[in-house]
Amino acid sequence: MGAMSSDPAAAAPDSYDAYAAATDDPRFTDWLRERSEPAWTEATTHRFTRGLGAGTLDDAVVRRYLTQDYAFVDTLVGAFGHAVGEAPSMAAKRRLIEFLDVVTDDENDYFERAFEALDVPEPDRTDPDLTATTEAMVDLIEAATNRGGYAETLAVLVPAEWVYLTWATAEADDRPDAFYLAEWIDLHANPGFIAFVGWLREQLDAVGPTLPADQQARVARHFERTVRLEADFFEAAYDT
């Protein structure tokens, strides 16, 4: 892993070439992560994720969060489906398809059980009113996948999954009593998910340095915007 500043608000160099020249063992995804500060730290240490691990979240907050997250799943699945088509090898396509199986099976089953336990009304499960943050996330991912290639698709998928891996592994030693809290951590802090996010980063690490400077800048903007919206998404769960 490349060197990181001790100040989470300190920005990485504007260009990857400058970052690579000043960093031991540079990774393109580390450059993107550092450029996304301070939103990265906000998203991965948010009061929502800390409350989730501690089991102190009000059920109303959890309901608002899960209904919005589930509404976003179709967009996320579509983005991964797009990545399958753009992936550079059959092995990469297969890895993405395997992850899609998890999202559409294990994760979908979790949502159904959580909604039952939390008494979420059917309309809120299938057609909730989207918050401005959820709509912004949908717009960002659709724009990145429809207008860019593999790298720009990865630019929104990598931070979306990496943020969740980071906060979930930080909370993995906590076991809140409610299954819909404990299992949400488990879904994002298990060996399979850890390996997948590592692989997803490697995909972007491989293609990112080969991009022209203007496309690297677009990738960085997509990544930074995704991280900002992840933090906003957690915060929106508290809005009534």
Kindly indicate the confidence band of residue 208, based on its pLDDT and cuts at 50, 70 and 90. Answer: very high
Domain containing 196 equals 37-236
In a domain, 187, yes or no: yes
Question: Does position 61 have pLDDT exceeding 60, yes or no?
Answer: yes
Domain of residue 221, CATH code: 1.20.910.10
In a domain, 8, yes or no: no
In a domain, 10, yes or no: no
In a domain, 58, yes or no: yes
Exposed/middle/buried for residue 236 (C-beta within 10 Å: 0-12, 13-18, 19+): middle
In a domain, 32, yes or no: no
Over the chain, what is the mean pLDDT? Answer: 93
Euclidean distance between CA atoms 47 and 51, whole angstroms: 6
**Predicted local confidence at residue 240, as pLDDT:** 76
| Contact of 202 with 216, CB cutoff 8 Å | no
Give the tens place of pLDDT for each residue, 88-100.
999 999 999 999 9
**Predicted local confidence at residue 216, as pLDDT:** 96
**Predicted local confidence at residue 45, as pLDDT:** 98
Q: What is the mean pLDDT of residues 27-54?
A: 97
Give the tens place of pLDDT for each residue, 150-184.
999 999 999 999 999 999 999 998 889 999 999 99
In a domain, 160, yes or no: yes
Euclidean distance between CA atoms 199 and 136, whole angstroms: 27
Q: Look up residue 123 and give its two tokens.
A: 């309309």
Question: Does position 143 have pLDDT exceeding 60, yes or no?
Answer: yes
Residue with tokens 């920005």: 11
Q: What does the DSSP assignment read for the chain?
A: -----SSTTPPPPSSHHHHHHHSSS--HHHHHHHHTTTHHHHHHT-HHHHHHHHT---HHHHHHHHHHHHHHHHHHHHHHHHHHHH-SSHHHHHHHHHHHHHIIIIIHHHHHHHHHHTT--HHHHHSPPPPHHHHHHHHHHHHHHHHS-HHHHHHHHHHHHHHHHHHHHHTTT---SSHHHHHHHHHTSSHHHHHHHHHHHHHHHHHGGGS-HHHHHHHHHHHHHHHHHHHHHHHHTT--
Question: Does position 8 have pLDDT exceeding 60, yes or no?
Answer: no
Q: How many structural domains does the chain have?
A: 1
Q: Look up residue 140 and give its two tokens.
A: 């960002």
In a domain, 17, yes or no: no
Question: Does position 15 have pLDDT exceeding 80, yes or no?
Answer: yes
Kindly indicate the confidence band of residue 6, based on its pLDDT and cuts at 50, 70 and 90. Answer: very low
For the full predicted model, state whether its pTM sits above 0.85.
yes
In a domain, 23, yes or no: no
Q: Residue 131 corresponds to which amino acid? A: T
Kindly indicate the confidence band of residue 10, based on its pLDDT and cuts at 50, 70 and 90. Answer: low
| Contact of 13 with 32, CB cutoff 8 Å | no
Kindly indicate the confidence band of residue 5, based on its pLDDT and cuts at 50, 70 and 90. Answer: very low
Q: What is the mean pLDDT of residues 59-81?
A: 94
